[in-house]
Chains A and B, each alone.
Chain A
């Protein structure tokens, strides 16, 4: 390809100055011979045997030129394809190392956690600004739970550990297993948001009409004040969402009793907003 392009560009100049040489779009033997003889003469070697050997080698190289080019280009394409597959774990590693775009910092084991918390007292500084943490919860239409934060916000300093509570109640008449996820906004602040213990990412099972308090224990890393992109940020928002654990509806219905395997959800109970049907007025027969 490049050969073609270069030929088309170069041809007008060549025709003007070197009218006796025809430039062909593909290598032919005459061209090979001409190019070889020019390079051979430069080496000043007039021996006939060497000439033949060298010529054969040169001819093979010339003929393989296009093939070599094709190999190089196809290997480049395969390399790019491999990079696209590798980019997913590479990006994940990059995000965890730098906390880019809201990824929480990767945490170590129990000893490092304790060590980090102990060192907080030295890094704590009264001059650090107070930060207001807002708590919110997202209700899920498919999950018949009421899930609310116990407090709307708290005010802490970076480096202080804080305890906060959420309350969840199972409004339906079947046991449900739920899983919670959380989100921290602004996304750059998520890197400094260290959650020591909470109730997220593990299945939590609630019996019908059971109400439970769920604590969240966290702190904000004191390096927060030294981040230039977070200058002037005094509000952080933490929001939780609960989902029903997929595939465990049957398990929850069974309640650990293997004989109840034929229990099924009624279609009216499986619909979204099924838990709000209780608000309908019931007609009592007189």
Chain B
């Protein structure tokens, strides 16, 4: 972001596309996060193999109003892709 290479240019940060995740102060989705981490550690850190766990996490967030409700396609989970992964 701030790369002082040629000149002191301070680059204004670009916000993420859908904004900020609200903070999970009560830790309501913490168990699902830990499940996802376990899955990653078992699958050589490949999130493509842990799609069900990450979907559960997003579902938890959406249910508790910690995230805007989206269709699964909007979050990048496609049925064809799931079939590809399970092959």
Interface string of B59-87 (1 = CB under 8 A from A): 00000000100110111111011001000
Find A213's partner among B16, B30, B81 (CB 8 Å cutoff): B30
Q: How far is the CB of A243 from chain B (nearest CB, A)?
A: 12
Which of A95, A118, A161 is packed against the most chain B CB atoms within 10 Å?
A161
- A162 in contact with B47 (CB, 8 Å): yes
Find B14's partner among A106, A117, A160 (CB 8 Å cutoff): A106
**Residue of A whose beta carbon sits closest to that of B74:** A114
- A187 in contact with B3 (CB, 8 Å): yes
Find A181's partner among B1, B17, B29, B45 (CB 8 Å cutoff): B1
The main secondary structure of chain B at its interface with chain A is loop
Give the docked Cα–Cα distance between A162 and B18 (Å): 15
- B18 in contact with A113 (CB, 8 Å): yes
B residues 32-63 in Cβ contact with A at 8 Å: 33, 36-37, 40-41, 44-48, 54, 57-58
**Residue of A whose beta carbon sits closest to that of B71:** A114
| B40 / chain A contacts, CB cutoff of 8 Å | 151, 154
Could you say which interface size class chain A belongs to? 35 or more
**Residue of B whose beta carbon sits closest to that of A150:** B37
Give the docked Cα–Cα distance between A196 and B45 (Å): 20
Find B21's partner among A114, A207, A215 (CB 8 Å cutoff): A215
Q: How far is the CB of A58 from chain B (nearest CB, A)?
A: 51
- A101 in contact with B23 (CB, 8 Å): no
Q: A117-B73, A120-B76, A121-B80 are in contact. Are A212 and B24 (CB under 8 A)?
A: yes
- A204 in contact with B73 (CB, 8 Å): no
Give the docked Cα–Cα distance between A106 and B16 (Å): 9
A residues 117-168 in Cβ contact with B at 8 Å: 117-118, 120-121, 124, 126, 150-151, 153-157, 160-165
| B81 / chain A contacts, CB cutoff of 8 Å | 121, 124, 160
Give the docked Cα–Cα distance between A70 and B46 (Å): 69
**Which residues of B come within 8 Å of A, CB atoms?**
1, 3, 11-21, 23-25, 27, 29-30, 33, 36-37, 40-41, 44-48, 54, 57-58, 67, 70-71, 73-78, 80-81, 84
Q: Which are the 8 A-B pairs with shortest beta-carbon distances?
A: A161-B76, A121-B78, A195-B16, A104-B14, A114-B74, A202-B20, A107-B17, A162-B47
